[in-house]
Amino acid sequence: MTEQTEKNGMSRRRLLGTAGAAGAAGLVVGGAGGAFATQAARDRPAPLTGVGTRTVPFHGKHQAGIADPAQACGHLLALDLAPGADRKAAAALLRRWSATAADLAAGDVPKGDDTGVALDAGPSSLTVTFGFGRTFFDRTGLADKRPAALEPLPSFTADALDAKRGDGDLWVQIGADDPLVAFHALRLIQKQAGDTARTRWQMNGFNRTPGATGKPMTGRNLMGQIDGTNNPKPSDSDFDARIFVPEDSGDWMAGGSYAVVRRIRMLLDSWDHLSLERQEKVIGRRKSDGAPLSGGTETTPVDLNKIGEDGSLAIAGDAHIRVAAPESNRGAAMLRRAFSYHDGFLDDGSPDAGLLFVAWQADPRRGFVPVQRKLDRGDGLSRFLRHESSALFAVPGGCAQDEYVGQRLLEG
């Protein structure tokens, strides 16, 4: 198939579009595009069968990397526009980025890329997601298009925020199941920023490697807790309404979503000092399998009113899952799609590790903000966490093949 492709002189890109996913998977290895096309043609690459073959389409009504499962490797990148970079320059950048992200997601080698870092590997579920911070709009003369939902997040008592690692004009979320594929994407995105934008902050995270557990299951965080059980699911009837701006809103944000990004350090030494029983009470779930302390299995609905054998609430008054529950927050919910992080250790010897919390919702004023307000006051887990950075981004809807992300804002 690959040899035939070369002989016919057809672009891999076009073939990917016509051959469908099954055919495309076999074409991915070797990166037969860009500077490597001739060399790759010399050897027939081995067909991919594993995690490398998996693709997440870049184009669509929503951007990739929101409703798709979180990958094993993640990079979060915020950039500020360079002095003098205007709306036109920003539009050109988003156009370059979108084209590159589409190529990479399809397993193609983007035009002009000869870094070669991701050669041999398939796309490995790569997603690249773009967003705009509050400051972007003033700097590009688009203040009148800034959504009300982008108002600054309130401050919380548990915050210990580092401004240099928060906010930003532009945001890029990269995820892939292979670290070299993810690094490659990050590198290209950063290089393409060129003179238009420069990196403000950048964070690396991870989740389970596919196949490390016996079946796909809810992930664990670095506290050892199964984390994300009560997340809205794409199969829920109200999923789209909770997570995405309505497609008929007539707004440039139609089909988009808002991402709250927080670097949440876990005080693991203090946490590990608690007994298993105490840890489970703080969370409200069993550590082993994530079942709520009100009974059942991980997916059993939580019974907040259940009284335990000792006459007290099975789910304690300050248990994390009680305080965070939609029932406790007038139905407020968000899609948490986090990565763990681990950046070595701090001066006091404790691990510099925790959660790169990324939460998605149609409106943070009806998602993250009310839930975090409640957690800030009453969550027993809070004293084991430090929110070290914070950001909020407007993430536009997805784009069609002939569009780029953000086009409706930048050319609207």
In the region spanning residues 201 to 230, those forming contacts with its own copies, defined by CB under 8 A, are 202-204, 206-215, 217, 220, 222-225
Contact 73, 175 (CB under 8 A): yes
Cβ closest to its own copies, residue 187 vs residue 365: 187
Contact 281, 319 (CB under 8 A): yes
Rounded to a whole number of angstroms, the minimum distance from the CB of residue 412 to its own copies is: 31
| C-alpha span between 306 and 62 (Å, rounded) | 39
Other beta carbons within 10 angstroms of residue 234's beta carbon come to 12
Measure the CA angle with vertex 231, ends 53 and 318; round to 5°: 140
For its own copies, how many residues bind (rule: CB under 8 A)? 76
Out of 80, 108, 169, 227, pick the active-site residue.
227
| Residue 178 binds to its own copies (criterion: CB under 8 A) | yes
Contact 198, 80 (CB under 8 A): yes
Interaction residues for its own copies, span 275-304 (CB under 8 A)? 275-276, 279, 286-289, 297
Interaction residues for its own copies, span 352-411 (CB under 8 A)? 353
With residue 93 as reference, give the H or E element that holds it.
Answer: helix 87-105
| Residue 43 binds to its own copies (criterion: CB under 8 A) | yes
Residue count of the chain: 412
Rounded to a whole number of angstroms, the minimum distance from the CB of residue 36 to its own copies is: 5
Rounded to a whole number of angstroms, the minimum distance from the CB of residue 163 to its own copies is: 17
Interface with its own copies (CB under 8 A), residue from 6, 13, 35, 376: 35
Cβ-Cβ contacts under 8 Å for 406 (sequence gap 6 or more): 91, 94, 130, 132, 396
Cβ closest to its own copies, residue 114 vs residue 327: 114
| Residue 194 binds to its own copies (criterion: CB under 8 A) | no
Interface with its own copies (CB under 8 A), residue from 14, 88, 111, 191: 191
Q: At what angle do helices 179-193 and 87-105 cross, to 10 degrees?
A: 160
Cβ closest to its own copies, residue 39 vs residue 312: 39
Active centre residues (catalytic): 227
